[in-house]
A and B are shown apart, each in its own frame.
Chain A
């Protein structure tokens, strides 16, 4: 059974600081997704990582995938308040296009 773990579960950081969210998964997969969820809202797709070594960047967020280590990272550079949200990683199980989600990381960026 595929398990997806994120850490930290909660992150409070000051504006302007850098930090990394980690997503570990337990079985082989070469497709990983990052989503953002604002409170009470739906999930918004941020990044699609489809191969080992893939790196994607959008604004202050950068995601990477290491399939050998079964690890993805979401790096936040010079955080701003607008980045406050919950971030989920999700891994394709390789069968039937199903995704298994991590429990999410709630990011709070303070002034």
Chain B
């Protein structure tokens, strides 16, 4: 089984809809991250969390919110989706005990907002 899983893997939604992307991990890592990937722009950090009570904005957090329900679960929400949020979204984890910076990625969620 994969260490970092994301659901759904693909999602098509309409402008204005609320959508939640979920991430779960079995690696036992304390740190979790959400990125979006757009062609030609690499990966950009949306939010990150070092534990259940510690959530921080990344470089492009506007229009997004997150919830860390447990050490193993980190959800990303789009309260009112817009077309320019169409992208590939990745969840990642890292382990403080291992130095904290090498990140391990989930399979990604392809989101299309019409």
Determine if B42 and A88 form an interchain contact, defined as CB atoms under 8 angstroms apart: yes
Number of A-B residue pairs with CB-CB distance less than 8 Å in the complex they form: 54
List which A9-62 residues lie within 8 A (CB) of chain B: 9, 31, 33, 35, 41-45, 48, 50
Q: Which chain A positions have C-beta within 8 A of B107?
A: 41-42
Q: Given that A96-B50, A97-B94 are contacting pairs, would A88 and B43 also be in contact in the complex, using a CB cutoff of 8 Å?
A: yes
Determine if A96 and B56 form an interchain contact, defined as CB atoms under 8 angstroms apart: yes
Please name 20 pairs of A and B residues whose Cβ atoms are closer than 8 Å in the assembled complex, sorted by A.
A33-B103, A35-B105, A42-B90, A42-B108, A43-B43, A48-B102, A88-B43, A90-B103, A96-B50, A96-B56, A97-B94, A98-B48, A99-B45, A99-B103, A100-B45, A101-B42, A101-B44, A103-B40, A103-B42, A104-B42
- B64 interfacial by beta-carbon distance below 8 Å: no
Q: Which residues of A contact B (CB under 8 A)?
A: 4, 9, 31, 33, 35, 41-45, 48, 50, 88, 90, 92, 96-104
Taking the nearest CB of chain A, how far is it from the CB of B10, in angstroms? 11
Q: Which chain A positions have C-beta within 8 A of B100?
A: 97
Determine if A92 and B42 form an interchain contact, defined as CB atoms under 8 angstroms apart: no
